[in-house]
């Protein structure tokens, strides 16, 4: 009885196996050429529409990401039909018909967040162990959409770049691009190079004219200061530095005039800090020229005007900031300092507290020493600042043991105080640096077929690097491969069955060899 029951159970299992294989092979044989890849993407035969409508979308699909398998429902992926996984026509290229799964040779830790995007209805969160640039590439590969990418960048702290307006007039637009965006064209880069050279020459002239062998202030200013009569013999037009400075000012004036003429908004133009620097950098020239040519001032007024003139000439050094218009590094540094104002203010606040505390401490520690250099607490401010910033000029130093202990504590406190906000400032710099490089180096993610797929070795060599993933000829070759697999399964269904496990195993072995030969 036991033997008969075992034989009966074995026969039932064999019949179920044959029935399953027969249904699968007949199903594949009846599929159209355009639907020969995924069983999960095909609607059922007539008579099953109600079942499909009620629970067809609950059908599960297996996704293999570099050997790590994920399983989800079709209705989960169908929430976003414009994505790679949500569109059957797009994900069909990555389907493995033998294993009945989709295979992606991509980053595995990132796919947890990608799948959660579908499960949560659009919430995209980068895993902590995945770098930002790698996860960004994965998001682009799975085609989650521009809206998801922008939302993800906002969550990561990236500020959405505002679109810079351009003049409506075509001529003004070309002029504006020529002077405002050096990367827009070759002539724009040439103008940027000329502008940088003029700025450098102007800074060099500003520094060289202060050398003793070139400085002639005493020669022509002393007679004017000691006399009430104007000096008609002096003229700045004979000075070679003045001539070079005039040429530079002509270029600066021309540049800012053209940019003002072509700017899309005049109020915004004056609100720009860079334009303010451009205007301030050329004003000292005209003020200096007017002062030098004035002939109706008295002695006291001349002395006062000379002091003001020196201050005005100092403003010329601001021209060095004009280089930031053509330097991404200086722009990044400016953004970093602006974003780190709270940290910098906190650093200054800590330094002020430390300076007052240690100045008071060293003064009272050195109060009984006759040769002490710390005659008052304000006199000790300089020593405290130099010590806390670890500069240590040595012009003032404590003599007593108590003063040296205070100096040691001051140096240690200064190191700790300065080190605390530095990581935040460095983090802000890295943020702006990567944001700038990300905007410059954005490139479309190249979609390619998975190199580990055993069914597409020839097709992969043709499709690798192609954004579309396949050509018309490639699709034809792909369909021929699938036809070979389908015919093999159909042949399995047509072969006679003898009802024992040995014949089934032999047929499976034959079918496997046939599939390998066809592929």
| Structural domain ending residue among the three candidates 406, 440, 474 | 440
pLDDT tens sequence across 241-291: 888 888 999 999 999 999 999 988 888 888 888 888 888 888 888 887 777
pLDDT tens sequence across 48-65: 444 444 444 568 889 999
Q: Note whether residue 179 is domain-resident.
A: yes
CB 198 within 8 A of CB 191: no
Hey, what are 287's tokens? 């003020």
- Looking at the chain, the whole-number percentage of residues with pLDDT higher than 70 is 63
pLDDT tens sequence across 442-489: 543 333 334 444 433 443 344 443 333 333 344 334 443 444 434 444
Q: Note whether residue 24 is domain-resident.
A: no
Are residues 407 and 281 part of one domain?
A: no
CB 380 within 8 A of CB 374: yes
Hey, what are 419's tokens? 């080190």
pLDDT tens sequence across 161-220: 666 778 888 898 899 888 888 888 899 899 989 999 998 998 888 888 888 877 655 444
Q: What is the mean pLDDT of the chain?
A: 73
Distance linking the first and last C-alpha atoms of the chain: 48
Are residues 288 and 242 part of one domain?
A: yes
Instruction: List the CATH number of the domain containing 148.
Output: 3.30.710.10
Are residues 316 and 368 part of one domain?
A: no
Q: Give the pLDDT of residue 276.
A: 87
Has residue 113 got a pLDDT over 50? yes
Are residues 195 and 129 part of one domain?
A: no
Has residue 364 got a pLDDT over 80? yes
Q: Note whether residue 464 is domain-resident.
A: no
Q: Give the pLDDT of residue 335.
A: 85
| Structural domain ending residue among the three candidates 440, 466, 483 | 440
Q: What is the mean pLDDT of residues 16-38?
A: 50
Q: Give the pLDDT of residue 236.
A: 60
Q: Give the pLDDT of residue 277.
A: 84
Q: Give the pLDDT of residue 322.
A: 80
Query: Tokens 């270029």 map to which residue?
Result: 251
DSSP output for 430-475: HHHHHHHHHHHS--PPPP---TT-TT-HHHHHHHTT-TTS--HHHH
| Number of structural domains found in the chain | 3
Q: What is the mean pLDDT of residues 109-134?
A: 88
Q: Give the pLDDT of residue 386.
A: 92
DSSP output for 318-329: GGGGGGGGS-HH
Mapped onto helix, strand or coil, the DSSP state of residue 501 is helix
Q: Note whether residue 493 is domain-resident.
A: no
CB 344 within 8 A of CB 422: no
Whole-angstrom CA distances from 361 to 150, 263, 365 are 55, 58, 6
Are residues 244 and 214 part of one domain?
A: yes
Are residues 376 and 311 part of one domain?
A: no
Are residues 131 and 256 part of one domain?
A: no
Domain that holds residue 265: 170-220+236-326
Instruction: List the CATH number of the domain containing 245.
Output: 1.20.120.350
User: Residue by residue, what is the 3-state secondary structure of 266-296?
Assistant: HHHHHHCHHHHHHHHHHHHHHHHHHHHHCCC
Q: Note whether residue 308 is domain-resident.
A: yes
Instruction: List the CATH number of the domain containing 398.
Output: 1.10.287.70
Has residue 375 got a pLDDT over 80? yes
Q: Give the pLDDT of residue 513.
A: 36
Are residues 393 and 316 part of one domain?
A: no
Are residues 186 and 134 part of one domain?
A: no
CA 384/CA 410 separation, integer angstroms:
7
Q: Note whether residue 516 is domain-resident.
A: no
Are residues 103 and 240 part of one domain?
A: no
| Structural domain ending residue among the three candidates 326, 358, 374 | 326
CA 38/CA 396 separation, integer angstroms:
83
pTM, rounded to two decimals:
0.52
Are residues 174 and 297 part of one domain?
A: yes
User: What counts of helices (H) and strands (E) characterise the chain?
Assistant: 22, 4
Are residues 189 and 84 part of one domain?
A: no
CA 95/CA 77 separation, integer angstroms:
15
Whole-angstrom CA distances from 196 to 145, 181, 319, 322, 508 are 41, 14, 11, 8, 76
Query: Tokens 């702290």 map to which residue?
Result: 157
């Amino acid at each position: 009885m036991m033997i008969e029951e075992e034989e009966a159970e074995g026969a039932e299992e064999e019949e179920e196996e044959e029935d399953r294989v027969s249904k699968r092979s007949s199903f594949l044989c009846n599929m159209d050429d355009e639907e020969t890849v995924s069983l999960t993407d095909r609607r059922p035969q007539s008579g099953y529409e109600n079942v499909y409508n009620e629970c067809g979308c609950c059908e599960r699909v297996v996704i293999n990401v570099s050997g790590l398998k994920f399983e989800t429902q079709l209705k989960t992926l169908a929430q976003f039909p414009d994505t790679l996984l949500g569109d059957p026509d797009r994900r069909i290229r990555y389907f493995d018909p033998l294993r009945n799964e989709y295979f992606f040779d991509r980053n595995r830790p990132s796919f947890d967040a990608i799948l959660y995007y579908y499960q949560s209805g659009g919430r995209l969160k980068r895993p902590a162990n995945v770098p930002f640039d790698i996860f960004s590439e994965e998001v682009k590969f799975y085609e989650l959409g521009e809206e998801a990418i922008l939302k993800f960048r906002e969550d990561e702290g990236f500020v959405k770049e505002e679109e810079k307006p351009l003049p409506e007039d075509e001529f003004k637009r070309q002029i504006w691009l020529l002077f405002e965006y050096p990367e827009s064209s070759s002539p724009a880069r040439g103008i940027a190079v000329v502008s940088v050279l003029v700025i450098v020459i102007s800074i060099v002239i500003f520094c060289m004219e202060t050398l003793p062998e070139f400085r002639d202030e005493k020669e022509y200013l002393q007679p004017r200061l000691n006399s009430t009569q104007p000096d008609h013999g002096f003229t700045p037009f004979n000075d070679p530095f003045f001539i070079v400075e005039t040429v530079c000012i002509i270029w600066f004036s021309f540049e800012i005039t053209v940019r003002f003429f072509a700017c899309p908004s005049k109020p915004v133009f004056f609100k720009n800090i860079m334009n303010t620097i451009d205007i301030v950098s050329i004003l000292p020239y005209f003020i200096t020229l007017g002062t030098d040519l004035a002939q109706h001032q008295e002695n006291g007024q001349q002395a006062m005007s000379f002091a003001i003139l020196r201050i005005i000439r100092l403003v010329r050094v601001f021209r060095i900031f004009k280089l930031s218009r053509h330097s991404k590094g200086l722009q990044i540094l400016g953004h970093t300092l602006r974003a780190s104002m709270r940290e910098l203010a906190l650093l200054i606040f800590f330094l002020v507290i430390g300076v007052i505390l240690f100045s008071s401490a060293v003064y009272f520690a050195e109060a009984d020493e006759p040769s002490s250099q710390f005659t008052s607490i304000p006199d000790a401010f300089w020593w405290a600042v130099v010590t806390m910033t670890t500069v240590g000029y040595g012009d003032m130093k404590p003599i007593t043991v108590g003063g040296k202990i205070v100096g040691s504590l001051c140096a240690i406190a200064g190191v700790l105080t300065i080190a605390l906000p530095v990581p935040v400032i460095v983090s802000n710099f890295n943020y702006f640096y990567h944001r700038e490089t990300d905007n410059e180096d954005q490139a479309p993610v190249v979609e390619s077929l998975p190199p580990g797929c055993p069914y597409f070795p020839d097709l992969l060599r043709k499709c690798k690097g192609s954004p579309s993933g396949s050509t018309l000829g490639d699709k034809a070759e792909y369909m021929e491969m699938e036809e070979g697999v389908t015919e093999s399964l159909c042949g399995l269904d047509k072969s006679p069955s003898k009802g024992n496990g040995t014949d089934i195993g032999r047929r499976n072995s034959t079918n496997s060899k046939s599939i390998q030969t066809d592929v």
